[in-house]
């Protein structure tokens, strides 16, 4: 004879969806969030922290912050404009797109990026901690702080030598 308590326990412990189905649903929900943001006129911030999104739609403009910290993002659309900060910390991204405009700070800590775009302008701080970057491109403009700790390549240059290479650095460079 089956006890009522055994039936209840079995029903409670049976997941309604498989892990694969939950993951797929999360991807769909994230894509819907991006589409709703675009339909809403790209106003405000777009937070996609830790999401499974690997790319964003072409022509995307983000009025506020674009936070992709810890997401699975591998590419950004060409011509992406971000009105606030762009956080790519702890993502698998390897390159930045042509025409990228960041009016706030750009966070690249703990990424696989090895080089920056020529002529890149960052309206705030540029964080390069724990990256594989080995040089700074011509025409790089950083209007805030430039953070270079834990990058051995830059240890051989003085702050003044780096300031000569980077335009618009108005604040102390941390080595």
Q: How many residues does the chain have?
A: 175
The pLDDT assigned to 4 comes to 53
pLDDT digits (tens, 9 = 90+) for 41-57: 999 999 999 999 999 99
The pLDDT assigned to 104 comes to 97
The pLDDT assigned to 63 comes to 96
The mean of the pLDDT values for the chain is: 87
Cα distances (angstroms) measured from residue 107 to each of 10, 44, 75, 148: 47, 19, 15, 12
The pLDDT assigned to 45 comes to 96
Q: Which CATH architecture has domain 4-174?
A: Alpha-Beta Horseshoe (3.80)
Contacts of 129 (CB under 8 A, 6+ apart): 109, 110, 147, 148, 149, 150, 151
pTM of the full predicted structure?
0.85
Does 86 have pLDDT greater than 90?
A: yes
- Domain residue spans in the chain? 4-174
DSSP 79: T
- Judged by average pLDDT, the poorest of 22-31, 59-68, 132-141, 150-159 is 150-159
- Judged by average pLDDT, the poorest of 19-23, 32-36, 113-117 is 19-23
The pLDDT assigned to 155 comes to 79
**């690249």: which residue's tokens?**
108
The pLDDT assigned to 38 comes to 92
Region 65-81 average pLDDT: 96
Q: Between 15 and 26, name the one with better pLDDT.
A: 26
Region 84-99 average pLDDT: 96
Quote the Cα angle for 147-150-132, to 5°. 90
Does 33 have pLDDT greater than 70?
A: yes
Tell how strand 61-62 and strand 141-142 pair up.
Answer: unpaired
Does 112 have pLDDT greater than 80?
A: yes
């Amino acid at each position: 004879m089956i006890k009522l308590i055994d039936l209840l326990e079995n029903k409670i412990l049976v997941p309604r969806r498989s892990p694969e189905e939950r993951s797929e649903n999360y991807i769909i929900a994230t894509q819907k969030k991006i589409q709703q943001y675009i339909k809403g006129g790209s106003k405000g911030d777009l937070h996609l922290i830790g999401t499974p999104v690997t790319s964003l739609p072409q022509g995307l403009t983000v009025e506020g912050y674009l936070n992709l910290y810890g997401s699975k993002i591998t590419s950004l659309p060409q011509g992406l404009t971000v009105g606030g900060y762009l956080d790519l910390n702890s993502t698998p991204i390897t390159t930045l797109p042509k025409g990228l405009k960041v009016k706030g700070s750009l966070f690249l800590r703990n990424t696989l990026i090895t080089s920056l775009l020529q002529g890149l302008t960052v309206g705030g701080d540029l964080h390069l901690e724990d990256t594989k970057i080995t040089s700074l491109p011509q025409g790089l403009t950083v209007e805030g702080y430039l953070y270079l700790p834990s990058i051995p390549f830059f240890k051989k240059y003085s702050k003044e030598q780096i300031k000569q290479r980077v335009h618009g650095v108005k604040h102390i460079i941390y080595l």
